[in-house]
Each structure stands twice: as C-alpha cells, then as structure tokens.
Amino acid sequence: MALTDADVQKQIKHMMAFIEQEANERVEEILAKGDEEFNIEKGRLVQTHRVKIMDYYEKKEKQIEQHKKIQMSQLKNQARLKVLKVLKARDDMVTDLLNEARQRMADIVKDPDRYAKLLEGLVLQGFYQLLEPKVTIRCRLQDVDMVQAAVNKNIAVYKETVSSNITVRIDQDHFLPSDICGGVEVYNSNGKIKVSNTLESRLDLVAQQMMPEIRETLFGSNPNRRFLD
C-alpha cells in the first residue's frame, strides 16, 4: 500500500525529531564531559598552585629563620666583643693601678730611711712566719748592708717576743735580681721552706686580697655577684 504525502511528511517529521533529540543528547553529553574535564583540570591546577605556594612560603619561612639565626649570632658576637672590650678596659685600669703602686714602691726604695724601716718589718715578719732557730736571708746585692742592719736590730726583738734564739745568715752566693724593687726572701736551714717578702710578692698578695674592694671602688658593686673573689 503506497504512502500518501501526509504519511511521508509525518515520517520525515518523526525522523527529524529523533535526530534532533539524539543531537541534543549528544551535545549535553559533550558539554557534561567538558565540564567534568574542566573541573578536573581546574582542580589539578589549583592543587599544583597550592603546592607551589606552600613550597614558596616554606622556603621563605626557612630563609627568614636562617636570617634570624645569622642575626642572633652576629648580635651575640657583637655583645661578646663589647664585653671583652669592657673587661680589657677594666683589666687595663687595674694594671695601671698596680703599676702606679710599683712606681710608688720604687720611690720608697729610693728613700734610705723609709726603705730601711720597710726592710726591718719584712725581715721580722719572715722570722715570725718561719719560727726556725736558723734562717737564711736572700736579698739584692745592693741591699746587703741595709738587710744586715735590719737583722741585727730584729734578732733581739724576736728573742724577746718568742723567747727563743735565732741564728741568721745572709746568703752571699745567691742574690735576688737587681731589677726587682727590693725586699727579702727568708729560708729555713735546709732551704725547703721559703717566705717570699719581696716588694713585688707583697704587692701581689695585697692586690689579690683587696681585688674585690679595688674593683668595687673602680667600677662599683656588681648586683649579680653572689660571692666575692
């Protein structure tokens, strides 16, 4: 049975509607897939940039931390150098003070009356510290006569004080260096015990004993110091 024109037109319209629907569905499928691929690529790019940003700031943080460490090290070194300079300046002041004391001792030695009186005290102190029946005194060559006079004067004083005799010999074979300020060394009979009463040794002893007081006088008290040295 032959199709009429109306039937043909109807089938054509039906076919066109089917093709159009299939085309629309294909377009929607392509668009959906495109959106999915876009979202996946967008997520990948976002993650990639997030990682890059995190790496960048992590490197920056490490650089800042390293820079801080370098600055702290430099500041510590600068502070250490300042402390060393202050300590050296203080040591220089103490050294100058001791040098001035040595110069004053040298001035005393130049005065025969004052030096003779000083030798008498140093010799008698040596006697008392040893408390030996026989002693040997060593002095500078240029001081032998003054030391002998001090010995002669102090033997009687010593006997009266300790109620014991003492025999004193001035060493004529070994003298103290002539470039020291002066004073004496007093030995027991076998030379194993020595009392060093040179002016230098006495100054060193006094300086050591008075160092806390000297420092406090020069630089003031230190509130952080718990013990005196």
pLDDT in tens, 165-205: 999 999 999 999 999 999 999 999 999 999 999 999 988 88
113 confidence band (pLDDT: 50, 70, 90): very high
Burial of 40 (0-12, 13-18, 19+ CB in 10 A): exposed
- List 196's β-bridge partners, or say none: 185
Q: Where are the alpha helices (DSSP H) in 131-193?
A: 144-162
Q: What is the pLDDT of residue 196?
A: 95
What share of the chain has pLDDT > 90, as a percent?
40
Q: Model confidence over 2-61: pLDDT tens digits? A: 667 777 788 888 888 888 888 788 878 888 887 888 788 888 887 887 888 888 888 888
Query: Judging by DSSP bridges, how do beta strands 167-170 and 134-139 pair with one another?
Result: parallel
Q: Count of H helices and E strands in the chain?
A: 4, 4
215 confidence band (pLDDT: 50, 70, 90): low
| DSSP state, residue 216 | H
221 confidence band (pLDDT: 50, 70, 90): low
Q: Answer yes or no: is pLDDT of 224 > 70.
A: no
Q: Answer yes or no: is pLDDT of 158 > 80.
A: yes
Q: What's the number of CA atoms in the CB half-sphere (13 Å) around residue 64?
A: 6
Q: Model confidence over 163-173: pLDDT tens digits? A: 999 999 999 99
Residue range 207-220: average pLDDT? 68
223 confidence band (pLDDT: 50, 70, 90): low
SS3 169: strand
Q: What is the CATH number of domain 111-217?
A: 3.30.2320.30
